[in-house]
Amino acid sequence: MVLWWIGNAVLLLVVLPVVIALLNRVLAAVERIRWAADDILAGGVELAGALDPVPSMLATTDATVAQVSAGAVRYAGSVAVLLPPKEGAH
């Protein structure tokens, strides 16, 4: 019977505080995850609102790509004229 009381005392004085401390750490981590998830959700909603003009922007993409391509070809041609030919090039 004495061992039973010693076991109960060890449980109350050692094991229970350790369990409570570990549970507190887990719950604190869960709260940080919840706050981060709320921030992510708020940012996602804000981002979704900023995507409304994207379809109209994509309608002009082909023309923009063609303009950039023409400019890049002109630039590369000018650079090719300025640079000496590579040795060993045929």
What three-state secondary structure class fits 1? Answer: coil
pLDDT, the chain, mean:
87
Amino acid in the structure at residue 86 = K
pLDDT band at 90 (very low <50, low <70, confident <90, very high): low
Q: How many CB atoms lie within 10 A of CB 73?
A: 10
Tell me the pTM: 0.48
- Whole-angstrom distance, CA of residue 25 vs CA of residue 6: 28
Q: How large is the average pLDDT for residues 45-70?
A: 86
CB atoms within 10 A of CB 20: 10
